[in-house]
Amino acid sequence: MIKRTTIEIDEELLDRAKRTLGRGTTRATIEEALRLAVENSGRERADRRTRQVEYLASLSDRADLGVLASDEMWR
């Protein structure tokens, strides 16, 4: 699906993005920027998940898991 829209855009920023992304048209530049934003979001989410899993795996080095799992923890 394609949606036609009108936006105000910083022309200098658009020109820089065209050069950086190697795109010749405004449409191609914006579509590539949107694709990259979505890909980076997924990558960042995966990286965050990996760091969280690593942190949770290292908890036994930082805390006594037996105490955390026991009633003693809640006294």
Is residue 32 within 8 Å of residue 21, measured between CB atoms?
yes
What phi and psi, each to the nearest 5 degrees, are found at residue 58?
-90, 0
Domain residue extents for the chain: 11-74
Confidence of residue 19 (pLDDT cuts 50, 70, 90): very high
This prediction has a pTM of: 0.58
26-57 vs 11-21: helix axis angle to the nearest 10? 70
Q: Which residues contact 17 (CB under 8 A, 6 or more apart)?
A: 23, 29, 33
Radius of gyration of the chain (CA): 23
Q: Encode pLDDT of 36-55 as tens digits.
A: 999 988 888 888 899 998 88
